């Protein structure tokens, strides 16, 4: 039994002619489940954004390395505060010096002494509390403040409260975000171990497609899908292999698929996967690999193909093929819903990092018509509303070939499989684009 058939047999209710979004995601979790990237390299931290960690990052130091002040104010021994936190008593301190960030204060402290301290400065030994300067009355070397404005230990950052020396700061499979880069830098590490980039080959198909630079001709359209896919893959951190535009010629299609399998871990095509399509793409895919062709219960993006294309030898394994629809918006929707999570798994990301983009709840400004029985993705524009849920309005023409409304949108309104029509004011789920598209 082929790998595709094995996965299909293991999924309850699998029907390639009417496959729900959840079933597609479950299928792809098995097909593209194991990480295919195992080779690693050490690269400069500046070059590591979006890369996947090849091993745990163990903190060589504690962050912060010492107790320090979270405020500009005066450091003192919190034992001087009254036992009753609601007391109206005042605390009076004698200021004997100033602690600046970047150096330890070396003076001598007596009972009732305080040190003027700057944010980030090391806490002098024996002092554990900082009173912010705005609460203080200062007269020469004396400082006075109402006791009830703070508790012992307030405004002190503890050594290691962010990261403790010897503990894992980041785990293998973490995809490095800007915040993660800052965390690694806080450990003093200029290099990080990462997995190599996932190699993804992509091409468009069809005699009706024009490459950029060609003169317009009747019945033809320019190839937008390759540039959309290039942007999606680049933002994901893949090594992209652009194989261009392939005409509806069986030999050329077969050659391109074989080349893509040799050079890449995954292959993305657009066009030629509709059921009953009068072109060669489906037939060539079936000849070259182990394939499944689906009608997905979704809009846009109904036709889709997935499969495995052998590499040059059995030992080299296979490349995963994603055959996407030809309509530009359908390409983006199916990529976000299905292909992106699968590629992240293949890249070696841990499970939490492979989930589809998170949903935001927002109120629909207008009514949206929908029949249960399929998942719909409508382009929307989300805007913040003070004191309430954000609002979302449908963005322009929702035709699957209309890219202008995709540009206008900042998210996809996701109307789930069993969901019906939406009334104005109803809350809906929105898959936000920020950081994804």
Mean pLDDT split into 10-residue runs, the chain, 437 residues: 92 92 95 88 97 96 95 97 88 96 93 96 97 95 95 96 94 95 95 98 90 88 92 95 92 95 96 66 91 95 94 87 94 95 94 83 96 95 95 88 88 96 97 73
Q: What is residue 373's predicted lDDT score, i.e. its pLDDT?
A: 95
Helix, strand or coil, per DSSP, at residue 347: helix
Identify the pLDDT of residue 279.
Answer: 57
- Please report the pLDDT score of residue 282 as a whole number: 86
What angle is formed at CA 372 by the lines to CA 366 and CA 377, rounded to 5 degrees? Answer: 55
pLDDT score recorded for residue 47: 97
pLDDT of amino acid 276: 54
What is the radius of gyration, based on Cα positions, of the chain? 30
pLDDT the model gives residue 331: 94
* Domains delineated in the chain: 3-36+197-354 (3.40.980.10), 41-59+172-194 (3.90.105.10), 68-157 (2.170.190.11), 359-432 (2.40.340.10)
Partnered with residue 362 across adjacent β-strands are 428
DSSP state of 389: -
DSSP string for residues in 134-170:
GG-EEETTEEEEEGGG--TTTTEEPTTSSB-TTSEEE
Residue 305 near residue 321 (C-beta atoms within 8 A): yes
Check residue 83 and give its pLDDT.
87
pTM of the complete model: 0.87
């Amino acid at each position: 039994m082929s790998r595709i058939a094995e996965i299909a047999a293991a999924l309850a209710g699998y029907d390639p002619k009417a496959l729900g979004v959840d079933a597609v995601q479950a299928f792809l979790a098995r097909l593209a489940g194991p990480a295919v990237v195992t080779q690693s390299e050490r690269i400069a931290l500046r070059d590591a954004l979006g890369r996947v960690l090849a091993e745990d990052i163990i903190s060589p130091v504690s962050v912060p390395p010492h107790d320090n002040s979270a405020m500009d104010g005066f450091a003192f021994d919190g034992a001087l505060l009254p036992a009753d936190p609601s007391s109206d008593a005042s605390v009076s301190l004698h200021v004997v010096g100033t602690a600046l960030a970047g150096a330890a204060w070396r003076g001598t402290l007596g009972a009732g002494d305080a040190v003027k301290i700057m944010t980030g400065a090391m806490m002098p030994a024996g002092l554990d509390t900082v009173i912010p300067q705005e609460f203080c009355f200062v007269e020469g070397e004396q400082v006075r403040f109402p006791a009830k404005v703070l508790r012992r230990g307030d405004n002190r950052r503890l050594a290691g409260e962010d990261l403790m020396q010897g503990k894992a700061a980041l785990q293998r499979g973490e995809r490095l975000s800007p915040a993660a880069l800052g965390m690694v830098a806080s450990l003093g590490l200029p290099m990080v171990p990462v997995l190599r980039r996932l190699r993804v080959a992509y091409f468009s198909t069809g005699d009706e497609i024009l490459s950029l630079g060609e003169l317009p001709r009747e019945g033809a359209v320019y190839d937008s899908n390759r540039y959309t896919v290039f942007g999606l893959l680049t933002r994901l951190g893949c090594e992209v292999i652009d194989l261009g535009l392939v005409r509806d010629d069986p030999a050329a299609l077969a050659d391109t698929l074989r080349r893509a399998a040799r050079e890449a871990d995954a292959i993305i095509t657009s066009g030629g996967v509709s059921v009953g399509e009068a072109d060669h793409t489906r037939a060539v895919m079936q000849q070259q690999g182990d394939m499944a062709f689906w009608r997905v219960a979704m809009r846009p993006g109904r036709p889709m193909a997935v499969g495995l294309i052998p590499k040059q030898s059995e030992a080299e394994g296979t490349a995963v093929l994603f055959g996407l629809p030809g309509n530009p918006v359908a390409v983006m929707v199916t990529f976000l819903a299905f292909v992106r999570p699968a590629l992240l798994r293949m890249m070696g990301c841990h499970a939490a990092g492979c989930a589809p983009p998170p949903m935001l709840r927002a109120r629909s400004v207008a009514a949206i018509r929908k029949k249960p029985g399929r998942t719909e993705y409508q382009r929307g524009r989300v805007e913040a509303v003070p004191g309430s849920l954000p609002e979302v309005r449908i963005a322009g023409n929702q035709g699957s070939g209309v890219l202008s409304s995709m540009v206008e949108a900042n998210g996809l309104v996701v109307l789930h499989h069993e969901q019906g029509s939406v009334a104005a004011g109803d809350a809906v789920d929105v898959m936000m684009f920020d950081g994804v598209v």
